[in-house]
Amino acid sequence: MKYRRLGNTGLKVSEIGLGSWLTYGTAAEQKAAEACVAAAFECGINFFDTANAYNRGEGEKALGAALSSYNRSDYVLSTKVFFPMGDGVNDRGLSRKHIMEQCEASLRRLGTDYIDVYFCHRFDTETPVEETLRALDDLTSQGKILYAAVSEWSAAQIANAGGISRRLNLRPLASNQPIYNMFERYIEQEVLEVSRQEGLGQVVFSPLAQGILTGKYKPGQQPPAGTRGADDSVNGVIRSYLRDDVLDVVAQLNGLAGSLGLKLSQLALAWVLRQPNVSSALIGATKPEQVAENAKAVDAVLSPSTLEAIEEILRPVADFAPAR
């Protein structure tokens, strides 16, 4: 495994991290979570990500339980706050009240004394940014979180937060967690550069486009039984990718990966990691073998000619816009 600094901080995270969105959180999935966490440690992965909103806290409980037998100093743990966690008017957002209450709740569910990286899961248009940043700074002073971060914030929102933090002498944000893969590339326009200027490292989610960039889905065919694409309860996000033009491109990328001696997933992860501002790419896995296979992506070096070939293959879907 290889490691990168999280933005301008001294914290080092594995280039591949293990996420828990849509994967862990039920009794039937607990053994899978434990097996995947064990495989992650064997591969040298030290970064584990979850969120309070994943199955209304069950994702945090599952990951916390899976990590409970490991030394707390041996891993970096992140979770998030923003989405509704109850029916009350204050059970959501980035107000001081919600942040403070949900941090305590996340600590209990995770079974830990502190959170390494605490992400604001989205931007809150109804709460002053100063209020949010002061709450995060106070949690850091209390030792309940070590680094504050954001997720899916725009370049302007990141820059504004940086300016407020400097004016108020608050600790700067450490990271942004956006979606980033071969099809969804909006961060290349402004977010990467502004983040670099403000000292934030990217922790990207869905680098494999919800499994599309594994090659398991074929153009003109129904999603294979047992896959996320075939499960109506969770395929709302992946459905945007299940288009023949996208899947035709995936088939070509798969052929390119094979010619390089790589799995398509490894090619896709190496492509994401080509960006120096990307600190870590989060994978989702239900089997230990998936973790081990994806972890090998850190050893793949993509030549300029390979990167050019990828861009040429992607050209037909350069205007891809997910229907969400």
Active site residues: 54
Tokens of 315: 């050209």
3-state SS, residue 227: coil
On the CB side of 237, CA atoms within 13 Å amount to 13
3-state SS, residue 310: helix
Torsion of CA 85, 138, 277, 292, to 10 degrees: -50
Bridge partners of 49? 78
3-state SS, residue 18: strand
Answer positive or negative: Cα dihedral of 30, 180, 48, 135.
negative
Tokens of 147: 């680094």
Q: Are 137 and 171 in contact (CB under 8 A)?
A: yes
Angle subtended at Cα 245 by Cα 241 and Cα 251, rounded to the nearest 5 degrees: 85
On the CB side of 230, CA atoms within 13 Å amount to 10
